[in-house]
Structure 1
Amino acid sequence: MVVLKDKILEFHPDTLYVARKDVNLDKEERIEEALDILEDWVKKQEHFVKKDFSRDYLERTLITAKGLVERAKVRIDKLCTFKTLMPDLYPSTVPKTDFEGLGKYLYHAHLPTLTKDHYRVYLLNIHSDDFSSSIVNTYYKYLVVISEYLKIHDYNCGFILTLDFRNINLLNLVAKCTPMELRQIVTLMTEGYSMRIKQIHIITPSKMVDALLALFRQVLSSKLAKRMILHKNLDTLYEYVPKNILPAEYDGTERSLKKLNEEYLSELSSDEFVKYFEEMYKANTDESCRQSDKFNEQYVGMPGSFRALSVD
């Protein structure tokens, strides 16, 4: 059995097997055949600027596409295209100083320990109201960088998002988050990076929570909107996310969220990862090489107001 290892992320002994079996990829020959098809397909896409994705990268894409080769092709195409369509959300490198500054307003991390069902828990804690729309945009960019890291380091069967808003004014948050940008980052995470979201937990005792839910319902699919679960305190959260995987601030046994936040930033700003991210930044599309009918068929009408392209 292959033992998965990472500097931050942890796995159960059978995570790789379960993640593959969950999408009918538990047979080695099936995986190899599918990856051969994907590699050959990528090389034939004239509008792809980068044509040499690693097999590890392709396998994780295949798993998040539920083992379906045709769906994996669409996901690869969308992610490359989104890098062209949404340049404002893509830093060309990893701006460590900018991301360090986020600590004044929030801490967040994908928690090291998986749930027993092999779900990865993402935890966001906003602890200051004194932020601007530009800080929100920087946070979105950081999510992009982290997503590129997870794309080559993580295996899971889905994500549980936990959003802790107990320490802020929800109306201030809603005012700083424009529906257009929020819709774009949600689309990028779900349709580009193929994040399979199982639950969305929102922690707040605020009576203004309806304004926040209204914002989220504008940008989430009806399926995802139904997966939102409200908590006034941590007591009910523990019914879904066990204490043993939560950080110390949440009465858990994991190292603090602040510490995890710092560890991720250190790893994401390492020379090795920065080099990789800068390479993947270039994995976009040259739309002059794509048939315009194919672009219109796949991307016109996508959620969000995307930047218009001139396609020959």
Structure 2
Amino acid sequence: MLETEVLQQPKFNGPATTVESDYDYPPYVCGLSSAMKQVAKEELHEDENIRRQALAQFREWIAKHPHIKKCRTDAVFLLRFLRTKKFSVPSACEMLERYLTIRQLFPQWFQQLDINDPAINEIFENGYLVPLPQRDSSGRQVIFSRAAKFDPYKFTSVQMARVHSLICEALLDDEDSQVAGYVYINDESGMNMGFVSLWSLTDLRSIVKCIQNSTPMRHKETHFVNIPHYANRIIELGVSMLSDKLKKRIIVHKNVDILKSKIDAEILPKEYGGTMPMADMIREFKQKLVQRRAAILALDDMQIEVTKEAANFAGNDIGDIDAGVVGSFRKLEVD
């Protein structure tokens, strides 16, 4: 349980000629549990003094940025980036700039994220992507996906990406998760041939770059289980675009029994050997999505003037993808 849980109202700053003092912001009350405070100190070098100085520097940078027109500057929002970058203020500033940029470059993926959108709601309630209510033994948030619950003949890659973006935004202000990070479990059983043509290579490359370069999340582990033999190349293609750091954090399991031997099985849905039925998990997180709806939609108020240089990081060049992997991807229809 959190020692103190404070939900601050998002604060937005526009262009400024003078920098606001710390007294212009709501007082920050640390929302970390006692255990996470220790993890933050050991892994992120975070303490009260470092956090205060970093927030002040971050806000000054935002206020003076020539292209940022409007941005949240409340502590919990800025700590998304500072904690992801282990309190390197320059790196956190760069990630925020990219985060704001991709929201405007790819509004179809990152804006107007609304659980009341019929397609998003149906995909979520089908159980395609669900954060588990219990954390693992390391205090990490686990996000569970089931390919069989996404219909690629009914829904598009854009709608798939929007579900992922909505769920991430609903989680990102959670301070324990900012510190401990995220674990992803992907049950690929039921993945059909419709997934082969769901994503274009250019879109796949862009979304992968957005995830690993611009999203303020500590990606700790990614587990794949029950991958159909014909889907190996699809997974391989996506993995080929990841950084070496993230590639090393991918674990493939042949079946659920092996997966359960490697993680905390009791936190899984009841259908996978845990205690809580998936339907209850969906219902519980749906309440959070409804509660967070206004705050998530308000993120669309943020604005940055996108320069050509800033847009280059999300370019569509696919020349550096291994030709053999691309070739295999194109031949997937021939089993």
TM-score range, shorter chain: 0.7 to 0.9
Partners of 2:160 and 2:175 in 1: CA distance: 21
Partners of 2:121 and 2:139 in 1: CA distance: 30
**1:164 paired to 2:187:** yes
Give the superposition deviation at 1:44: 1.1
Q: 2:254 matched to which residue of 1?
A: 232
Q: 2:109 matched to which residue of 1?
A: 89
Give the superposition deviation at 1:13: 4.6
State how many pairs are aligned: 292
Give the superposition deviation at 1:152: 1.3
Partners of 1:6 and 1:234 in 2: CA distance: 38
Counterpart code for 2:78: L
Runs of 4+ with >6 A deviation: none
Q: Which residue of the other structure, out of 176, 181, 184, is the alignment partner of 2:206? A: 184
- Which has the higher mean CA deviation after the structures are superposed, 130-139 or 72-81? 130-139
Q: 1:309 matched to which residue of 2?
A: none
Percent identity between matched residues is 21
Superposition map of 1:100-119 within 5 A: 100-103=121-124, 106-119=127-140
Q: Which residue of the other structure, out of 266, 279, 304, is the alignment partner of 2:298? A: 279
SS in 1 for 2:68: coil
Q: 2:14 matched to which residue of 1?
A: none
Cα 1:105–1:303, aligned 2, differ >3 Å: closer, same or farther? Answer: farther
Counterpart code for 1:283: M
Give the superposition deviation at 1:35: 0.6
Please give the per-residue CA displacement for 1:226-261, whole angstroms capped at 9, x wherever unaligned: 3322222111112332112211111113x2233222
Please give the per-residue CA displacement for 1:153-179, whole angstroms capped at 9, x wherever unaligned: 24232222111011232x332322333
Q: 1:152 matched to which residue of 2?
A: 173
Cα 1:143–1:240, aligned 2, differ >3 Å: closer, same or farther? Answer: same
Give the superposition deviation at 1:84: 1.3
Counterpart code for 1:264: F
CA contact (8 A) 1:102 1:135 kept: no
Partners of 2:154 and 2:303 in 1: CA distance: 26
Partners of 1:247 and 1:30 in 2: CA distance: 39
**1:131 paired to 2:152:** yes
Partners of 1:139 and 1:4 in 2: CA distance: 35
Partners of 1:93 and 1:229 in 2: CA distance: 30
**1:300 paired to 2:297:** no
**1:3 paired to 2:3:** yes
Cα 1:95–1:234, aligned 2, differ >3 Å: closer, same or farther? Answer: closer
Cα 1:238–1:12, aligned 2, differ >3 Å: closer, same or farther? Answer: farther
Q: 1:63 matched to which residue of 2?
A: 83
CA contact (8 A) 1:4 1:16 kept: no
Partners of 1:115 and 1:77 in 2: CA distance: 31
- Which has the higher mean CA deviation after the structures are superposed, 49-58 or 97-106? 97-106
SS in 2 for 1:121: strand
List runs of 5+ in structure 1 lacking aligned partners. 307-312
Q: 1:310 matched to which residue of 2?
A: none
CA contact (8 A) 1:64 1:196 kept: yes
Root-mean-square deviation (CA, aligned residues, Å) is 2.9
SS in 2 for 1:230: strand
SS in 2 for 1:220: coil
Give the superposition deviation at 1:180: 2.6
Please give the per-residue CA displacement for 1:111-155, whole angstroms capped at 9, x wherever unaligned: 222222232221101224742374332121122122222221242
Partners of 1:240 and 1:204 in 2: CA distance: 15
Partners of 2:122 and 2:189 in 1: CA distance: 21
CA contact (8 A) 1:174 1:215 kept: no
SS in 2 for 1:14: helix
List runs of 5+ in structure 2 lacking aligned partners. 8-31, 319-335
SS in 1 for 2:205: helix
Cα 1:174–1:105, aligned 2, differ >3 Å: closer, same or farther? Answer: farther
